[in-house]
Structure formats: structure tokens, C-alpha cells
Amino acid sequence: MSETQGLRVLIVDDELLARERVRDLLARHTDIQIIGECANGFEAAAILECARTDLLFLDVQMPEADGFAAIEKVRADRLPYIIFITAFDQYAVRAFEINALDYLLKPFDRARFDKAIERARNAINTRKDESLRHKIIQVLECVKTQNAHIERLIVKNNGHIAFVKTEEIDWIESEGNYVRLHTGKESHLLRETITALENCLDPKKFLRVHRSTIVNVDRVKELQSWFHGEYKIIMQNGAELMLSRNYRDRLIEFVGRNL
């Protein structure tokens, strides 16, 4: 594609207002031609197969067929450069960042939008990334797991098997290759590393506050200032845990966002 031809753009989002927002922001870019708008992945796949598309604005979550469903139906040689539109929080967004795929986190402003457009122009005018499909598949797997968090853990001890619901866990501490699950007055030792368990828990409910500690944020009573930028976490059951400086911003942002 040469610059004189202009970018051929397809907008895919189930929300009319969201499509209008993208269309309005594109209006000032004179080298862009909007070839269509779709409300689901099926419609998008049909257009991508028959019409040359240079740039795709693609909503991740849509009813009927989401953005990834559209991608899966399109041949690799027909895939355009993609700017994902997502309402996912910061945890899922990491999947896009790790795989170097551009995204717009709703709600986005003109400055962020224009930056994405400029990045798309540069990528398209050089050469298409041959690993694009692989990157998209990686993101798909990461995003899908956001809604597949474990709800219970099976703990084996001396021939007994205990079923522990994750919602009943107050906090978790690392003990080498094991973790101890604190649930009220009881605790359970599980053969699992704290990092592996963290990846299986819902990040909207469980947060790492120390390299050896994860807390259920619903069970946090208060934070108290401590030395050297650290904090004490006071749990509802009276337990006192340390919030490391390395994890402080994550918890404070979470609490501030949900108060």
C-alpha cells in the first residue's frame, strides 16, 4: 500500500456510539477511507475475506461473535493491521502489551487515538508483521483465561481431601514450593507455588501485596503507614500483613478505584 492510496479501514463494535466515536476521530485523517462498519465478528469476517482492508478497529467483547471469532475465520494473508478496542482492565491489557499489539482502552481520548493511528501507518507502510496471527492467538488465550479463574481448591492432607472455595480465603502466604491458605481460624497447606496460584485467581478479588503474600481484597479492613514506604495491612480477622513497596501502588490503585 502506498501513502497516496490511503488507508482502508473497517470498524467493528457492537455499540453504535462506540462506532460513531471512532468514525468521528477518523474524520480529521484525510488519508483514511472507511470501507464499512460491523456490529459483530461474523459480519467483519465476511468483509475481510472479500475487501482489501489495511486497518481494523476491533472490539474484543461483542455478543454473537466477538472480535477474536472474526480473526479466527480470516485467512492469514487477509489479516489487516489491528487496533483492538477493549474495556478490559489493566490485567488483561497486559496480554496486548506483551505481544506488541496496539489497543485502545475504553474510554479513550483523541491523543491516544491519534497515537494508535500513527503507529498503524508506520507498521503498514513498512511491512506486515508475519507473526501477527501468532501474536493474536497468544492474546486470545490470555484474555480467555480472564474469565476462567478457579473457584475452589482441592487440598490433600494425610488421606483427607478438603475443598476450599476461593471466596472463603482471607489471605495466602508462600512456604517454599507450598502455599498456606488462611480461611478464618483454619489454614490449609497446598502444594503449589504462590506465583502459579496467583495466575489462577481472579485479579479483581486477589492481589499480590508482597513476594510471599496474596490477599483477598474483600477481607482487608485497613492500611496503616509503616517504615520506608511500606504499609501494614489489617485484615478483618485481625491478622497483620506487610504491604511491600514494590506492590503498594497496585493495592492503593485498586482500593481507590473501588471506594
Tell me the pLDDT band of 213, cut-offs 50, 70 and 90: very high
CB atoms within 10 A of CB 254: 17
Helix (H, G, I), strand (E, B), or coil: what is residue 151?
A: coil
Helix (H, G, I), strand (E, B), or coil: what is residue 24?
A: helix
Cis peptide bond upstream of 107, omega within 30: yes
pTM of the model: 0.52
Of 63, 49, 55, nearest in space to 29 by CA: 55
Q: How far apart are CA 119 and CA 114, in angstroms?
A: 9
Mean pLDDT comparison of 4-13, 67-76, 105-114, highest-scoring range: 105-114
pLDDT in tens, 156-182: 777 777 888 899 999 999 998 889 999
Give the pairing of strands 32-38 and 7-12.
parallel
Rounded to an integer, the average pLDDT of 219-225 is 87
Tell me the pLDDT band of 258, cut-offs 50, 70 and 90: very low
Q: For residue 123, is pLDDT > 90?
A: no
Q: How far apart are CA 29 and CA 24, in angstroms?
A: 10
Q: For residue 227, is pLDDT > 80?
A: no
Tell me the pLDDT band of 203, cut-offs 50, 70 and 90: confident
Between helix 16-26 and helix 110-126 the angle, nearest 10°, is: 70
Provide the mean pLDDT of the chain: 80
CB atoms within 10 A of CB 48: 23
Between helix 132-145 and helix 90-98 the angle, nearest 10°, is: 160
The H or E element spanning position 222 is: strand 220-225
| Per-residue cell: 105 | 482502552
pLDDT in tens, 127-156: 655 566 666 666 666 665 555 577 788 787
Give the amino acid at 86. T
Question: 249 or 185: which carries more pLDDT confidence?
Answer: 185
Question: 94 or 6: which carries more pLDDT confidence?
Answer: 6
pLDDT in tens, 2-51: 444 688 999 998 888 889 999 999 999 998 999 999 988 888 888 988 88
Q: How far apart are CA 239 and CA 94, in angstroms?
A: 32
In this structure, are residues 58 and 70 in contact, taking their beta carbons and an 8 Å threshold?
yes
